[in-house]
Amino acid sequence: MKISVINGPNLNLLGQREPELYGRLSLARIEADLKDLADELGVEVGFFQSNSEGALVTAVQEADREAEGIILNAAAYTHTSVALLDAILACRVPVVEVHLTNPLAREDFRRRSFLAQACAGTISGFGAESYSLALLWFSRRKNEGSGA
């Protein structure tokens, strides 16, 4: 099973960007830790990050063709992007929305996700562990052979 992990704008700056909110781990480190977990679980993972909305739409479309699930932190586009919502609605594979922080506990404009309605679920507020929890869900779902 392959899972694509897609990260949106400004997440390339993790580690330096508002570390009190987003933590001190770089995106490269988060991806390396996730790869270790994926190896333990016997899951293949691929990684993509872009600051551009169109590139993220294309990445979701490609992941839908090549992977069996998508872990998506669309960052600020979560709160604005009809284009990403439409890309997720067109997906055959489940998409799990993740966030490092809990957007529901932050500014009003972060409380609305355009994407959540089209996702299998959302995992927010656990820092880098949000990605690990999403990967565990995919792995367990595969092992149970369920369509949960």
**For ligand DQA, the closer CB: 5 or 68:** 5
Question: Which of 134, 27, 130 shows the shortest CA–CA distance to 70?
Answer: 134
Catalytic residue among 22, 77, 79, 131: 22
State yes or no: is 131 an active-site residue: no
**For ligand DQA, the closer CB: 76 or 120:** 76
Least Å distance, CB 8 to ligand DQA, is 7
Question: Which of 59, 71, 69 shows the shortest CA–CA distance to 93?
Answer: 69
d(CA 108, CA 142): 36
Least Å distance, CB 25 to ligand DQA, is 12
**For ligand DQA, the closer CB: 10 or 50:** 10
Least Å distance, CB 132 to ligand DQA, is 14
Q: Please, which contacts does 113-116 make with residues 24 or more away whose CB atoms are closer than 8 Å?
A: 113/78, 113/79, 114/78, 114/79, 114/80, 114/81, 114/82, 114/84, 114/85, 115/72, 115/74, 115/78, 115/81, 115/84, 115/85, 115/88
Give residue number: closest CB to ligand DQA: 75
Least Å distance, CB 146 to ligand DQA, is 28
- Give the DSSP letter of residue 141: H
d(CA 38, CA 126): 18
State yes or no: is 79 an active-site residue: no
Interface residues toward ligand DQA, by CB under 6 A: 10, 73, 75-76, 78, 99-101, 103, 110
Catalytic residue among 77, 79, 99, 131: 99
Catalytic residue numbers read 22, 99
